Amino acid sequence: MIAAPARILITGASGFVGRHPVTTLARAYPNATVLASWFDVRNTDAVDTAVRASAPDACIHLAAIASVPAARQDETQAWQVNLLGSIHLARAILRHVPKCQMLFASSSEVYGESFRTGTPLDETAALAPTNVYSATKAAAEAAWSPPRTGCARCGPGIQPHRHQPVGRLRRGRVRPPDRTRRHRPAGPVMAVGNIDTWRDFLDVRDVCAAYVACLDRRETLEPGTIFNLASGTPRRIGDILATLLELAGVTVDVQVDQSRVRTTDLRTASDDAARAAARLGWTSTVGWTQTLQDVLDDWRRRVAAAPDAA
User: How do the domains of the chain map onto residue ranges?
Assistant: 7-175+202-232+269-286
Q: Mean of the pLDDT values across residues 16-21? A: 77
Q: Model confidence over 196-223: pLDDT tens digits?
A: 999 999 999 999 999 999 999 988 888 8
In single-letter form, the type of residue at position 8 comes to I
- Separation between Cα atoms, residue 68 and residue 24, nearest integer Å: 27
* 184 has a pLDDT exceeding 70: no
Q: What confidence category does residue 224 fall into, taking pLDDT thresholds of 50, 70 and 90?
A: confident
Range with the poorest average pLDDT among 204-213, 223-232, 254-263: 254-263
Rounded alpha-carbon distances, angstroms, from residue 280 to 58, 234, 274: 17, 22, 10
Rounded alpha-carbon distances, angstroms, from residue 181 to 176, 202, 208, 235, 243: 11, 19, 24, 19, 15
Q: Mean of the pLDDT values across residues 249-267? A: 86
Between residues 235 and 259, the one the model is more confident about: 235
pLDDT > 90: percent of the chain:
64
- CA torsion angle 14 9 21 207 (round to 10): 110
- Separation between Cα atoms, residue 106 and residue 119, nearest integer Å: 20
Phi, psi of 269 (to 5 degrees): -140, 115
Does the pTM surpass 0.75? The reply is yes
In single-letter form, the type of residue at position 285 comes to T
- How many CB atoms lie under 10 A from the CB of residue 155? 10
25 close to 211: Cβ distance less than 8 angstroms: yes
Report for 152-166, 167-181, 244-258: range of highest mean pLDDT: 244-258
Q: What confidence category does residue 310 fall into, taking pLDDT thresholds of 50, 70 and 90?
A: low
Residue 223 half-sphere exposure, CB side, CA atoms within 13 Å?
19
Q: Model confidence over 89-143: pLDDT tens digits?
A: 999 999 999 999 889 999 999 999 999 999 999 999 999 999 999 999 999 998 8
44 close to 95: Cβ distance less than 8 angstroms: no
User: What's the mean per-residue pLDDT of the chain?
Assistant: 85
Q: What confidence category does residue 308 fall into, taking pLDDT thresholds of 50, 70 and 90?
A: low
Q: Mean of the pLDDT values across residues 27-56? A: 95
Q: Mean of the pLDDT values across residues 33-43? A: 93
Q: What confidence category does residue 185 fall into, taking pLDDT thresholds of 50, 70 and 90?
A: very low
The pLDDT value recorded for residue 24 is 95
Range with the poorest average pLDDT among 26-35, 227-236, 256-265: 256-265
CATH number of 7-175+202-232+269-286: 3.40.50.720
